[in-house]
Structure 1
Amino acid sequence: MAKVQLYVYDLSNGLAKQLSRQLTGRQIDGIWHTSVVVFGKEVFYGQGISIVKPGQSHHGQPLQILDMGETSLDEQTFDEYLDEIRDHYTADKYHLLEFNCNSFTNDCIGFLTGGSIPSWISDLPSDFLSTPFGAALRPTIDAMFRRPVPGAAPTPPVAPSPNALQQAASASPNPALASALLQAVAQQAYSTGSLSAPTSLPRPPAPGSSTVAGPIHICTNPSSLHGLLQAHKAVVVFFTSATCGPCRMIEPVFEEIAHQKTHGRDGGRPAFVKVDMSVGMGGQVGQEWGVRVTPTFLFFLDGKKTYELKGVNAPELRTQVDLLLYQAYPPHPHTKLSLPAVEALSTNPILFTQVPPLDTVSAKLASFIDAASQSTELNSAKQALSVSLVPFLKSRFPDKTASAATPAKKPAVPTTPQILTSWASLTSSLTAALKPPQLFPLADLWRLAVLDEHVANWLAGPAGTHNPLDVLVHQALDVLDNGDPEQKAAGRNYLLTVLRMLANGFAHAVLAKTILARAAPGGKRAQVTRVVVATLLHDDAAVRTAAASLAFNVAATLQRSRVEKLRGATTGAAPVEVEEDEEWEVELVSAVLETLSNETKSEEVVHRLVAALAFLLRLSPSYEGQLASLLEVLQSRDTLRSKLEKGGCGESGVQKPEMRKLIEEVAGKLCP
C-alpha cells in the first residue's frame, strides 16, 4: 500500500483571498493548482504531464498537503496509466477553466484511490463564473485558450484586446483595480502561455499550470466516475472518442449546457462528465455501463442510472438534463404561487442620504473632544477630522442648498488606503475616549462615508483589526446591554445613527455581503443581527423606523440572493450571495413578528416589517422546516390581519390599499 497525497498551491500568492471581494463581490480564498504525490514523486499537468521530486516543482512548497488515502496499485501500473493518458493531457489541450491540472489530479486520484479532489477546489470555477466579473471575463479566457483544431499545429494563447479587458473590468465592483490586475495578468499570459499571477509576485507559476477546475469533469478510469457519482446527486456522462465525428457536433451543446446548469447554482451542483473511450481506461468505463457507441449520454440520480441517450439529438439532450435536474433539485413550492403584491415590492435598499450641516456636526464632535481629557491620540483624531474626513465628505456630498450654478467639486481628499486607515484610527481613538451619547456625530459622518463606493470597498476588505463598522457597532451593543434606563435613553441618538449607517452599508453589494457574512474574515452577521433584534422594540419611534429599515435591507438582500440562485444566472449589478442559515432566519422572523404584534402606531414601520417578513419567508430553504412551525406557533396570520382592524395600526388600522393587499397576501399565502 502506498500513501497518496494532494499538494495544493495558491497561484495568486494570497491576492485572491485579499482582493477577491473587491474584484468579484465574492470571497475566493485562492486560485488552486494541485498535484498528486505518490511513490516518492510529484505529478502534475501543465505543459503536458510533469514529474518531479515532492516539493521540488517551480511552485515551491505547497500551501496545503491533503491526505487522499492509500492505493493498492503498484508504481509500474501507475506509470503505465500515465503513459496511456499522456497523449490526452498535452500542452495544446490545456484550458484555464475546463481542462487543467485539477482535471488531471482528480483523474489520477480516482484511478489510485477511487476518490476525488475536494469540492472547494473543483467548484471554484463555477463560483467565479457566476459573478458578473467572471462571466464578463469568460470570453477573454476562452480567446486566450482556444481549443486546438484536429490536425492543426498547436497555437499559443492569444493576447486579449485592451477593450476586452476594460469591458471585463467594468463588471467588477472595483473596475480600476480589476483593470490594473487584468492588464498585468494578460501580459504574463501572453508572454508565458498561461494565465498566471503577475510577474511581480514571488514564485510565479510556470507556463500552462495556473488553473482552476472547470464545470466539466474528465474521467479516464472507472474509479474516478464512481467518486463523482458518490459526490453529486445528479450526473450527466458524455461518452465520446477522438475519431467520432458526431461527437464533435454535439460536444459544444454539451459544454454549453454544463456551463449554464452549473452557473450560479447554490448548494449541490450537478456534475457533467466527459469520458473519452480511447484514452486510458475510458474503454473500461464504457464497458462497465454497457456503452458500445459514441456519442452516448448517461443520466444518473443518486448514483443510479435513470436514462440513456444515443446519437446527436440536442433538443432531447436539453430536455433530459432539465428533467434530471428537476428530479434532483425540485423547485421551491413558492415558485408556483401568484404573489403580485410581494413581487411588486422593490428590493432596493432603504438608504438615509440626508446631508447634515457638516461644519455643525464637526464642531459638535470637536466640542466633545475638547471636553475630554487631552492626549496625543485625541489631538491627532481632531486634526484628521478637520483636515481629512470632513473635507472629503463635503466634496463627496455637496450642500444641496448651494447655488445650482456652482460646479460640483472633486474630492479634496483621495480615498487612499492610508487616508482610510487614518479615519479608522481616529474612530478607535474617539470611541475609547468618549461615551456613546457623545459619539453620534462620528457615527453620522460614517453614515455618509459608507455611501461612497471606495470607502465601502475598503470597509469590506482587509480594513485592519479596528474596522470602523465593528468599533461603532460594538459601542451600540454596549448601549443596548446597559441596564441603566437613563444611559439607554442618553444613547438614543447614537443608536439611531448607527442603525442608519448600517442601512447605508447595503448601498454597495461588496459591503452588504460583508455585513451579512456569517464567519470570518470580516463577517458581521451576528453583531448586526443583535442590534436589529434589540432595536426593533425600542421605545423611540425613529429608532424603530431605522431598525425596520435595516431589517428590510437584510431581508431584501437575502431575497435577491435567492432569486438569482433560482434563476441560475446573474444579471445587472453584482449580486450579493447570502449564506442561508435556518437558525438565523428563525431569529429574524421571530423578531419581526413580535415587533409587528406590538407596533400599533407607525404605518411606515408596519409596511417595512411586512415587506421584510415577505422576503424572509419567500423561497426560504427552511420554509417547510422550522419556519412553518414557527409561523403557526406565533399565529402569524392573526398577527398580520390584526393590522387591518381598528386599533391594529392607528385608530382604523392600515389604510393604504397597496399595504392592505400586501398584508393579505403574506398572511394568506406565505403564512400557514
Structure 2
Amino acid sequence: MSAPVKLYVYDLSNGMARSLSVQLTGRQIDGIWHTSIVVFGREIFYGQGVNITGPGQSHHGRPLQIIDMGETAIDKETFNEYLEDIREHYTADKVRYGSDFNCNSFTNDVVGFLTGGSIPDFIKDLPSDFLSTPFGAALRPTIDAMYRRPVQGQASIGGPAVAPAPADSQLAASLVQSVANRAQAPLSAHPTESSSITAPMHVITNPASFNSFLKSHRAAAAIFTSQTCPPCRMIEPIFERLAEEKGPHDGRQGVAFAKVDIDVGLGRNLAAEWNIRATPTFYFFLDGHKVTELKGVDAAELRAQIDLLIYEAYPPHPHTRLGIPIIQKMSLNPILFTQLPAVDNMVSKFFSFIDEVSWPPTVNPTPDQIKSVISKSFAPYLKARFTTPKALPNGAKASAPLISSIPALLQSWSQVTAALMTVLPADALFPLADMWRLAFLDPATGSWATAPSTSPSGGPIGIILPNATEVLESGSSKGGRRNFLLTVLRLLCNSFSSPALGRTLLTDSALKPKLTSVLVQSLLHEDASIRTAAASLAFNVGAWLQNGRVEAIRNGRGIQPHMVGEDEEWQVELISAIVEALSREVANEEIVHRLTASLALFLRLSPFYDEQLKPLLEVLQAQEKLQGKLRRGDGWEGDGGVGKKEVRQLIEEVVNKLCV
C-alpha cells in the first residue's frame, strides 16, 4: 500500500532573508531553507545526525510550506532499514550548510529513495547561491552551529513519537547579532570571497536519486568510492576541489559532481547497476549518457576529463577560435569627453537663458532658488572637482583630495534639472547637459544614479533623454538645439564610465528605448560632430556588452542569450543602424574607425551571431560596404580609400573574419 511523502520547508532566518537579502547580498533570497521529510507519520531530518519527530513538532516549529512529493510504494520496514544504513553516513560531525552534507542534500537523497524524484531546485541551489555572497559566508558559522546543537526529544529509528519541541528563535536572534557585528566591523574584516563553499557535491545513496541527478544536469561526473578504500581517500579531496572549481553555481556553467559510497544505503545496488567492479571509479555523463570512465588515482587525467566534458557540453563561442589580433587588442574602456569648459562663463551664460524666459508661477523651485543651487553648490563642486590644479614654482602641481559628489547635492540638482526642462527651450539647455556631462565623470554620480532611491531611474538621464528625442524628431537641430543634442550624446558616453550605470541604461525598460532612439537617429545626423559623438556612444554600448561576454567566458559561465544586456531584436536594430551609418560615411576617418570598432564589438561573441546576425550582415551587404572604405569609389571620396593604417587593418579584420 502506498504512502504519501511530504516535504516540510522552513526558513531558518524567520523572514529576515527576504527583507534583508538585497541590501546585504545584492540579490533577492526569499529564505534560508531547511527541509525535512514527512512519511509514515514521522518527520525525518538531518542536523544532529538523522533526527525523527512527530510531523511539525521539531525545534523549527511550524513549516513555512508543505510540498507534496508524491507517494512511495516502499514499505515502512524497508524504509527503516534504509535510514539505519545511511545513519552511519549522515553523522552529526559532517553536517555543514552548503557542503555535500546538509539537511537539503539529505532530504533530496531520501526523496529519491522513496519516490525517484528530487526536491525543488530553489532549495537545492540555495546554499551555494547564498553562501557565495560575503554576507552569507559571514553567517555560515551561525547556521552551522544551529545545525549542530542538540535536538530535544529525538527518537531512535523506528522508535516512538517524540514530544513537541518549542519553536526555535535562536537563529533569527543570531542573524540579527551577526548583522550588527558585521556593520560595526571594519571593512577589512568582512570576507570577500567564499570559494570553499561553492559547487556542493551531491551525495547519493540509491539508484533513484542517481537517475534523478543525471536527468537534472547536462554534464555530470560521479565517483564511486568505498569507506575501506585507501586510494579513494587520496583522490576524494581532489575530486571535491574540482567540484568547487568546475561545478555550476551563481549562473556559471559547469559539471555537476556526485559521490556514491557503495557501502552506504543502496550504494551496492547502484554500483551493480552501473557495473562498478573497483573503487575509485569515475563516470562522466553528457545528457544522461555515459561518455567515458576512469579507474584509479590519476589526478591529471581526472582534471583533463572534466575539462573535456565541459568543452563538449558547453562548446565555446566560435569567435574564440578566430585569429583577430586587432579586435582583441582594442581597449574596452569607454570613450569619454573630458574637456573642461570655463565653469563661471558656462554658469553666466546659463543664467542669461533663465532670465530671458517667462517663468510660470506654478513651477517650483523658482528662478532665484535655481540660481542659488547652481551658484552655491553645483558650480563650486564642478570647479573643485574638475579645475586643473595650479602649478607650483618648481613645476609641480598642487595636490588635494579629489572632491566627490554627494546624494543630497545631486538630488537637489536633479530636481532643478526637471524644473528647467519644463521651462527652457531646447536651444537653451546645452549648458545644463554639459554640467551633468562633467558630473558623470565622477564615480559617485554614477553610483547615485543607479541607487534604488533615485527617481527617475538614471537620475538626470531619465529627465533629459525625452528632450533629446524631441529635438531629433522635430527635424530641426541647428544652433543651440544642435549644441544640446551634441552635449547629451557626450553626457551619455560619460555615463558609461560607471559600469553599473551602463547596465541601468541598457536594461531599464524606460531608459533603453529612449537611449536607442537617440543613438540610432544621431548616427545618421547631417552634423559630423553629432555623428562622431553618436559613434562614440555606439562604441561604449558595444564595449559594455563585450566586457560582459569576456567575463562570462573567463568565469566559465559561457555566453547565453539570457545574459544581462543581451537582446536579439535590439542588437539587430543597432547593427543595422551602424552598417547604414558606415555606408553613408565617405570622408570622416574617425567616424569610420569608431563605427567599425562598434560593429566588431556588437558582433564578436554575440550569442545571436550564427542564427541572426550573420544572415543580417549578408542582407545588409555589410562586407561590400566595408570593403568600399578601402578604395575610392562609392564607399570613399579620397584616393585609395581610408588612409590610416590602423583603421584599414580593423576594417579588413571585420570584413574577413566577422562578416563571413
TM-score range, shorter chain: 0.7 to 0.9
Q: Check if 1:604 corresponds to 2:604.
A: no
2:442 maps to 452
Q: Distance in 1 between matches of 2:484 and 2:62?
A: 52
TM-score (norm 2): 0.78
Given that 1:443 and 1:497 are in contact with CA atoms closer than 8 Å, whether structure 2 keeps it comes out as: yes
2:484 corresponds to: 494
Q: Does residue 561 in structure 1 map to residue 566 in structure 2? A: no
Q: Secondary structure at the match of 2:70?
A: strand
Is 2:647 the partner of 1:659? Answer: yes
Residue equivalent to 2:539: 552
In structure 1, the partner of 2:568 is 582
Distance 2:609 2:210 in 1: 35
- CA distance in 2: counterparts of 1:600 and 1:290, whole angstroms: 70
**2:328 maps to which residue?**
343
Question: Aligned partners of 2:303, 2:335: CA distance in 1, in Å?
Answer: 41
Alignment of 1:91-102 (within 5 A): 92-99=93-100, 100-102=102-104
Structure 1 residue 304, shift from structure 2 partner: 0.8
The aligned residue for residue 167 of structure 2 is: none
Cα distance in 2 for residues equivalent to 1:431 and 1:56: 62
2:338 is the alignment partner of 1:359: no
* AA at the equivalent of 2:620: L
For residues 79-98 of structure 1, the aligned pairs below 5 Å read: 85=86, 88-90=89-91, 92-98=93-99
Distance 1:474 1:117 in 2: 48
Change (3 A) 1:611 1:288: same
1:232 paired to 2:217: yes
In the TM superposition, what is the alpha-carbon distance from 1:640 to its structure 2 partner?
0.6
Q: Which amino acid aligns with 1:394?
A: K
Cα distance, 1:637 vs structure 2: 0.9
1:594 has 2:580 as partner:
yes
Cα gap change, 1:2 to 1:318, in 2 (>3 Å): closer
Equivalent-residue separation in structure 2 for 1:376 and 1:472 (angstroms): 16
Work out whether residues 349 and 552 of structure 1, in 8 Å CA contact, stay in contact via their aligned partners in 2: yes
Aligned twin of 1:629: 615
Mapping 1:129-528, distance limit 5 Å = 197-198=179-180, 214-262=199-247, 268-370=253-355, 371=357, 372-373=359-360, 375-378=363-366, 380-399=369-388, 407-410=398-401, 415=406, 417-467=407-457, 468-472=459-463, 474-476=465-467, 478-479=469-470, 482=473, 484-486=474-476, 491-517=481-507, 524-528=511-515
Shift of 1:667: 0.4
Which AA in structure 2 matches 1:72? Answer: T
Pairwise CA distance, 1:32: 4.9
Listed as ranges, the gaps of 5+ residues in structure 2 are 150-169, 184-195, 558-562
- 1:352 and 1:323 map into 2 onto residues whose CA distance is 46
Residues 301, 621 of structure 1: alpha-carbon distance in 2 compared, 3 angstrom cutoff: same
- C-alpha distance in 1, partners of 2:349/2:82? 76
- Counterpart in the other structure of 2:523: 536
- For 2:462, give the aligned amino acid: V
Cα 1:85/1:511, change in 2 over 3 Å:
farther
In 2, Cα distance between equivalents of 1:533 and 1:290: 62
* Residue of structure 2 equivalent to 1:573: none
In the alignment, the residues of structure 2 paired with residue 79 and residue 529 of structure 1 have an alpha-carbon distance, to the nearest angstrom, of 64
Q: What SS does the aligned partner of 1:491 have?
A: helix
SS of equivalent to 2:429: helix
The two structures, once aligned, show a CA RMSD in angstroms of 4.3
Native 8 Å contact 2:589 2:642 kept in 1: yes
2:349, 2:80 → 1: CA distance?
Answer: 76
CA distance in 1, matches of 2:79, 2:384: 67
Name the CA shift for 1:412/1:608 in 2 (closer, same or farther; >3 Å).
Answer: closer
Taking the aligned partners of 2:94 and 2:16, their CA distance within structure 1 comes to 20
Amino acid at match of 2:99: E
The answer for the alignment partner of 1:177 in structure 2 is none
Instruction: Kindly state the Cα deviation for residue 78 of structure 1 after the two structures are TM-superposed.
Output: 7.0
The Cα of 1:585 is off from its aligned counterpart by: 2.3
Cα distance change of structure 1 residues 265 and 192 upon mapping to structure 2, 3 Å threshold: closer
Contact 2:128 2:199 in 1 (8 A): yes
Shift of the 420–59 alpha-carbon distance from structure 1 to 2, 3 Å rule, reads farther
Identical-pair percentage: 44
Give me the whole-angstrom Cα distance separating, in 2, the residues matched to 1:654 and 1:194. 65
Partner of 1:25: none
Per-residue CA shift, 1:467-492, capped at 9, x if unaligned? 3155235424542563x323687533
Rounded to whole Å, the distance in 1 between the matches of 2:369 and 2:42 is 58
Higher mean alpha-carbon deviation, 559-568 vs 402-411, is at 402-411
Q: Matches of 1:239 and 1:310 in 2, distance apart?
A: 10
- Secondary structure of residue in 2 paired with 1:35: strand
Instruction: Give me the whole-angstrom Cα distance separating, in 2, the residues matched to 1:528 and 1:422.
Output: 24
| Aligned-partner residue type, residue 659 of structure 1 | V
Distance in 2 between residues matched to 1:494 and 1:56, nearest whole Å:
67
Higher relative contact order (CA 8 A, sep 6+): 1
User: 1:300 Cα shift?
Assistant: 0.7
Deviation at 1:52, TM superposition (A): 8.7
Task: Report the Cα offset of residue 414 of structure 1.
Answer: 5.9
Deviations 1:377-429 (A, max 9, x none): 345554443333333333322335676766344466762x4444434433333
- Equivalent position amino acid for 1:457 in 2: S
Following the alignment from structure 2 to structure 1, what is the Cα–Cα distance between the partners of residues 55 and 375?
A: 60
- Cα deviation, residue 309, structure 1: 1.6
The structural deviation recorded for 1:515 is 2.9
The structure-2 alpha-carbon separation of the partners of 1:538 and 1:86, relative to structure 1 and needing over 3 Å to count, comes to: farther
- Partner Cα distance (1:78, 1:5) in 2: 18
Alpha-carbon spacing, 1:600–1:265, altered in 2? closer, same or farther (3 Å):
farther
Contact 2:6/2:66 (CA < 8 Å) preserved in 1? no
- Residue equivalent to 1:170: none
Letter in 2 for 1:356: P
CA distance in 1, matches of 2:432, 2:50: 59
CA distance in 1, matches of 2:426, 2:333: 30
Name the counterpart of 2:192.
none
Bigger Cα displacement from structure 2, 83-92 vs 52-61: 52-61
Q: 1:17 aligns with which of 2, 22, 42?
A: 22
| Amino acid corresponding to residue 393 of structure 1 in structure 2 | L
Aligned residues: 601
How far apart in 2 are the matches of 1:391 and 1:638?
52
Give the corresponding residue for 1:72: 72
Contact 2:33–2:126 (CA<8 Å) still a contact in 1? no
- 1:509 aligned partner, one-letter code: P
- Give the C-alpha shift of residue 298 in structure 1: 1.1
Question: Could you tell me whether the CA contact under 8 Å between 2:389 and 2:398 is conserved in 1?
Answer: no
Bigger drift between 337-346 and 259-268 goes to 259-268
Helix, strand or coil for the counterpart of 1:580?
A: coil
Cα offset for 1:273?
2.0
Cα offset, 1:586, TM superposition? 2.0
Does the 8 Å contact 1:239/1:297 carry over to 2? Answer: yes
TM-score, length-normalised on structure 1?
0.76
How far the C-alpha of 1:30 sits from its partner, in A, is 2.3
Are the aligned partners of 1:55 and 1:61 in contact in 2 as well (CA < 8 Å)? no
- Say yes or no: does 1:33 pair with 2:36: no
Q: Residue 223 of structure 2: SS of its match in structure 1?
A: strand
Shift of 1:496: 2.1
- 1:657 & 1:373 partners in 2: Cα distance? 57
